[in-house]
Amino acid sequence: MKFEGKRYHSLWYENEKLKIIDQKALPFDFRVVELATSKEIINAIKDMSLRGAPLIGVAAAYATFFAYRESLTKSDSHYYYETVISKLKRSRPTAVNLQWAVNQIDNAIKMGLEIDRILSFVKNIENNEISCCKMIGDNGVLLLKDIYNIKAHKQINILTHCNAGWLATVDYGTASAPVFRARDNEMDIHVWIGETRPRNQGGKLTAWEYFHENIQHTVVADNSVGLLMRKKLVDIVIVGADRIARNGDTANKIGTYLRALAAKDNNVPFYIAAPMSTIDFSIKTGDSIKIEERDENEVRYIGETPIIHELSPVINHAFDITPAELITGFITERGVYKPQDIKRLAL
Ligand code: MRU
């Protein structure tokens, strides 16, 4: 995707290192950072220099490869490798893409493939993630076209949450992919972006992406989305996902559930855009999804400024679960599916 006229991916492999766009520095500083070791990748996942379920998955695939490459020069290579992998798996617990990607590369390593073949395998995961997002765009834009036709080509208002754009994947994004395709088709679109407290991925990252991609957008306080829907200013909600259970229950950024409830009450279609790698067929319902709890200081402070009395307790849930019955459909690389059809995709 584009920044100041140049095409970028949100990560790439170069000279035996992983290069990433440091998402912590955006929107005010565009910084490319080099990660040379598995430990540096794990730290970047933990401190959210790179984030978003599909991107975490691809970075974790590289981290697994790096851990293996490092282990070849260690006397306790097996112990070293397994210790890093277990830290990596615990670095962010909710996004299933992380576990999925680590297991894929770990299997290739345990099959005894040559190191170059393992690296190609990692690159396949990366390229596959890019194609999936592109196809999510192709499938999702059909929904937008239907709405556009029903509205006789009047502007469509899309509501999104957090950042499920190209920064959160390797390219195109998930929830953003249909938006980019609609822009390419010269449709008149406008996107409402919730700021996404406490880390503000909507205001900081999605708005930055849309500004540079020439997409009309407006950032709103998280709490205004009910009002927007009631005023009939939202035609469709499209958000991303971190883990989807077999019954369609979906974990995504905290606040997603409230948007789904408001959408239901206002008859606004509510879609999840996600690649198949985000579906966890091993769990029946969202009740089994571990919700990450992050440092309370993310809630306590805005920047350096404390906003809560120091003796008041704080809890910082990073994700919530939207029950399947509130979800109109899933936009995947294979097509658009109703929640009850998700389990059949495993076949
Ligand atoms: O905590 P984050 O910023 O990693 O959470 C990101 C989200 O919740 C995204 O919506 C999700 O990962 C999908 S990204 C395509």
From 201, 206, 222, 280, mutation site for ligand 1 pocket: most ligand atoms within 8 A of C-beta: 201
Residue range of the domain that includes 236 = 138-346
Cα separation, 159 vs 239, in Å, equals: 8
What is the bridge-based pairing of β-strands 2-3 and 217-220? unpaired
Ligand 1 centre distance from Cα of residue 153 (Å): 31
Is residue 311 one of the residues assigned to a domain?
Answer: yes
**CATH code of residue 239:** 3.40.50.10470
Question: Same structural domain for residues 173 and 314?
Answer: yes
Question: Same structural domain for residues 194 and 318?
Answer: yes
Residues contacting ligand 1 via CB (< 6 Å): 51-54, 95, 162, 164, 168-169, 173-174, 201, 239-242, 252-253, 318
Residues 20-45: tens digit of each pLDDT: 999 999 999 999 999 999 999 999 99
Is residue 61 one of the residues assigned to a domain?
Answer: yes
How many folded domains does the chain comprise? 2
Question: Same structural domain for residues 167 and 116?
Answer: no
Question: Same structural domain for residues 145 and 124?
Answer: no
Helix boundaries (H) for the chain: 38-46, 53-71, 77-90, 96-110, 115-150, 177-184, 201, 207-212, 225-230, 256-265, 297-300
Atom of ligand 1 nearest to the CA of 253: 8
Residue-wise burial string across 266-297, b where 16 or more C-beta atoms lie within 10 A, e elsewhere: bebbbbbbbbbbbbbeebeebeebeebebeee
Question: Same structural domain for residues 157 and 76?
Answer: no
The predicted structure's pLDDT at residue 198: 97
- SS3 assignment, position 181: helix
Is residue 91 one of the residues assigned to a domain?
Answer: yes
Q: Taking a C-beta distance cutoff of 8 angstroms, is the pair 178, 144 a contact?
A: yes
Q: Taking a C-beta distance cutoff of 8 angstroms, is the pair 295, 316 a contact?
A: yes
Question: Same structural domain for residues 80 and 199?
Answer: no
Atom of ligand 1 nearest to the CA of 273: 15
Question: Same structural domain for residues 124 and 227?
Answer: no
Ligand 1 centre distance from Cα of residue 307 (Å): 25
Is residue 133 one of the residues assigned to a domain?
Answer: no
Domain boundary among 128, 159, 177: 128
Q: Specify the residue with its C-alpha closest to ligand 1, atom 10.
A: 240
Residues 216-249: tens digit of each pLDDT: 999 999 999 999 999 999 999 999 999 999 999 9
Domain boundary among 110, 128, 146: 128
**CATH code of residue 68:** 1.20.120.420
Question: Same structural domain for residues 124 and 143?
Answer: no
Ligand 1 centre distance from Cα of residue 251 (Å): 9
Nearest in space to 4 (alpha carbons), one of 156, 237, 213: 213
Is residue 279 one of the residues assigned to a domain?
Answer: yes
- 345 Cβ neighbours under 8 A, 6+ residues apart: 276, 279, 281, 332, 334, 337
Dihedral sign, Cα of residue 105, residue 111, residue 113, residue 117? negative
The predicted structure's pLDDT at residue 79: 98
Can you give the pLDDT of all 347 residues of the chain as single tens digits? 888 888 999 999 999 999 999 999 999 999 999 999 999 999 999 999 999 999 999 999 999 999 999 999 999 999 999 999 999 999 999 999 999 999 999 999 999 999 999 999 999 999 999 999 999 999 999 999 999 999 999 999 999 999 999 999 999 999 999 999 999 999 999 999 999 999 999 999 999 999 999 999 999 999 999 999 999 999 999 999 999 999 999 999 999 999 999 999 999 999 999 999 999 999 999 999 999 999 999 999 999 999 999 999 999 999 999 999 999 999 999 999 999 999 999 87
Q: Which of 171, 235, 242, 320 is catalytic?
A: 242
Question: Same structural domain for residues 124 and 150?
Answer: no
Question: Same structural domain for residues 289 and 194?
Answer: yes
Q: Is the pTM of this model over 0.85?
A: yes
Question: Same structural domain for residues 106 and 160?
Answer: no
Is 242 marked active-site? yes
Q: Specify the residue with its C-alpha closest to ligand 1, atom 6.
A: 52
Ligand 1 centre distance from Cα of residue 268 (Å): 22
Question: Same structural domain for residues 113 and 233?
Answer: no
